Structures are given as structure tokens and as C-alpha cells.
Amino acid sequence: MDVLELKDILNSEDFKSKEKGIDPYARNAIEKVGLIKIKNVSSLIKYNRELRMLGKSLRHKSKCIYWACRLSELTGYKNFQDLTEEDIQKFAVFYNNGEIESDRKHHWIGTYNQAQIHVIKFLKFVFYPNLPHKKRPRPEFLVNYDQLPRREDFIYDASDMWSDEDHAIYLKYCSGYNIERDRALHMVFHDTSARPLG
């Protein structure tokens, strides 16, 4: 596969349609990987095909492909088949921010855990493509790559919820075709303590 073939594949119906494709952000990530390591793109395309056959949503497929592309990028575009435990550690360290002042609620742990889930599933596919997806073992070099426990029970504070003033502002500027429906829906969320959509 060369760069022109890659562009044809990414512009094909398989990658552009909502049922079969991925979002433009993930498509750009694949294109970036393809400019440097075409062999990795072949694995990404096959993985996207499997996700489509499993009936995964556009958003899910895009996240899976995005994390696989980030893995490729952060390991120096090394061939997926040649990855080692040290490569995975490089990837993990990038997202393991530890204690930083701007992230007092440790949101980075959620990002790290999401990356871990998608990377492990992808590498199971790369190393055992002929096994059913639920029966694929974890490759040996991923044994020590586990999720991190959350440090807080809740990552939202009371201050994250809308105040009565916030609700009044939202309802004041709520306009459109179904204004009554939107206002009613908003008040149902407010009265049942659900988080607001707006």
C-alpha cells in the first residue's frame, strides 16, 4: 500500500459513511500514521473492518482508531507487531501525569484508563487476528499495563451544577422551533437533579 492507495481508502465509502466509517479526526490520525508507516495503517484498516462487523458505533470506532494511532505516534511509528513492554511504558508515561496543580480532580486517570482499554483491545487484535475477539489473550508484554484506580469518588463538585441564575439565563435565551419542548425538557432535568444538556 502506498500513500495514494491510502488516500483512496480514506476517501472511500467505507471510511466516509456514518455506518461504516470513522469521524474526520480519526481519519486524519490514520493519514498522519500512513505518511510515516504504511504497514501500521493496514492493521488500522483491518481493525476498523472488524469493529464495523461487530456493530460498533461511529464514535466507538473512531475512539478505537484514534488511540491506536496515538500508540503508533508515541512509540515512534514502530511496527505494531514489534512493540515491546518498554514501548508500552513510553505510551503509558505520556498519559500518566501524576500530581499537577491544574488537574486537582485527576481527570488524567480517566484518560489513561480509556487509552489502556482501547490499546489492549487493539493489540489483542494485532497479535491474534484469527481468534474470536472475546477469546483473544492479552499479549505477554501487556501483563503489567493495568488501569489506575480513581482517587476521588466523584469528579464533580456542587459548583459544577447550574445555579438558579444559570437556569434563568438558559431559559431566557432558549429559542428555536421547539421552544416549549426545550424548556420543558430542561426543567425536567433540573427538577430530577440530572445534569443539564446545554
SS3 73: helix
Spatial neighbors of 110 by CB under 8 A, at least 6 apart, are: 150, 155
Joined together, the cell numbers standing for residue 178 give 421547539
Please state, in angstroms and rounded to a whole number, the distance separating the CA atoms of residues 52 and 15.
Answer: 11
* Residue among 193, 198, 194, 195 at smallest CA distance from 183: 198
Q: Assess whether pLDDT exceeds 80 at residue 141.
A: yes
Tens-place pLDDT, residues 78-93: 899 999 999 888 888 8
Running DSSP on this structure, what letter comes out for residue 145? -
Tens-place pLDDT, residues 53-66: 898 888 888 899 99
Degrees to nearest 5, angle at CA 121 with 46 and 146: 155
Mean predicted confidence (pLDDT) in 147-171: 78
Q: pLDDT category, 121, cuts 50, 70, 90?
A: very high
Joined together, the cell numbers standing for residue 192 give 430530577
pLDDT at 20: 61
Q: How many CB atoms lie within 10 A of CB 180?
A: 8
